[in-house]
Amino acid sequence: MATVIDPIVAHAVQSPRLNIKDRLRDWIPRLVLAPSFALILIFVYGFNLWTLVISFTNSKAFTNFNFIGWANYAKLWSWTFQTDPPSNWYTALVNMVLFGGLYVVFCLVLGLALAILLDQKIRGEGILRPLYLYPLALSFIVTGTAWKLLLDPGIGLEKAVHDLGWTSFHFDWVVDPRMMIYCVAIAGIWQTSGFVMAMFLAALRGIDSEILKAAQIDGASAYATYRRIIIPIMRPVFMSALIILTHMAIKSYDLVLSVTGKNPGGAAELPSTFMYSYTFTRNQMGVGSASAVVMLMTIAAIMVPYLYSELREKP
């Protein structure tokens, strides 16, 4: 004979009531995270939305809500092709391509080379690793100021070489408007290559040694092992490094000002410096906000496809 269980009793057995202590334990993590979540929601996403709204207005020194549609974006689009004479926005885009390309490529190449070198279990790895990582402990302001002094022809590298007797040596990129952006790239590469090295070194140390032993048994050379096995395995790390470096290149601001001495004449203009100058010094907040939205969309265009591909691969 089947036993009939009272539904009320069954519900009580399946869902035991939590006492105050258990409820408090469940709510403490939410209460701790709630202030930071609220602050991020307001000061990150809220201000992003605010910037988007301002970009459709004719705000000058102060914000207003006289909406002018896409006029600010049309102005940026026309400036994109204004090469004679070049507009500040055109200069910012050209410099962004030069600086971003050099910064990302050299950081990846140097970071990978240093990681492979340290992964050979060389003597002194414990000393070399913190030395490569040390620049990351400095702010961009300190890094930029140090490189500005080093590259200054009057007191830096050029003077030192002249004092050694090579008086025909000239290296005045930091005061040459056409070469300033390359000095910014040199300073940025010096600071960030160690960070990329740490990412690649962690990935190299995480590769299964049995795979490498199997490749050696099959007679694969070191070059073939890296090209056909190690590098493909490290693809997610490459993508992460690429996104981080691109993001840092697009938002670079203090490094430009510190290396060039407040960007004289806009020679080392980047989208970030363009946005700041038009928003806070040229009293064209609407145009500055539009440039900020363009920068945000550029970063999103890089990150969204990567996040989509990563999430799609997971079951």
Euclidean distance between CA atoms 285 and 280, whole angstroms: 7
> For the segment 180-193, what is each residue's pLDDT rounded down to a tens digit?
999 999 999 999 99
Percentage of the chain lying above the pLDDT 90 cut: 43
**Residue 39, pLDDT score:** 93
Percentage of the chain lying above the pLDDT 70 cut: 93
- Judge residue 140's burial from the number of C-beta atoms within 10 Å of its C-beta, 0-12 exposed, 13-18 middle, 19 or more buried: buried
Average pLDDT over residues 32-47: 91
> For the segment 66-85, what is each residue's pLDDT rounded down to a tens digit?
999 999 999 999 999 888 88
Residue with tokens 């190690």: 230
Euclidean distance between CA atoms 108 and 233, whole angstroms: 16
Euclidean distance between CA atoms 70 and 235, whole angstroms: 39
β partners of residue 83: 86
> For the segment 255-305, what is each residue's pLDDT rounded down to a tens digit?
999 998 877 888 889 999 999 999 988 889 999 999 999 999 988 888 888
pTM of the predicted structure, to 2 decimals:
0.83
Contact 249, 103 (CB under 8 A): yes
DSSP string, 119-133: TT--TTHHHHHHHHH
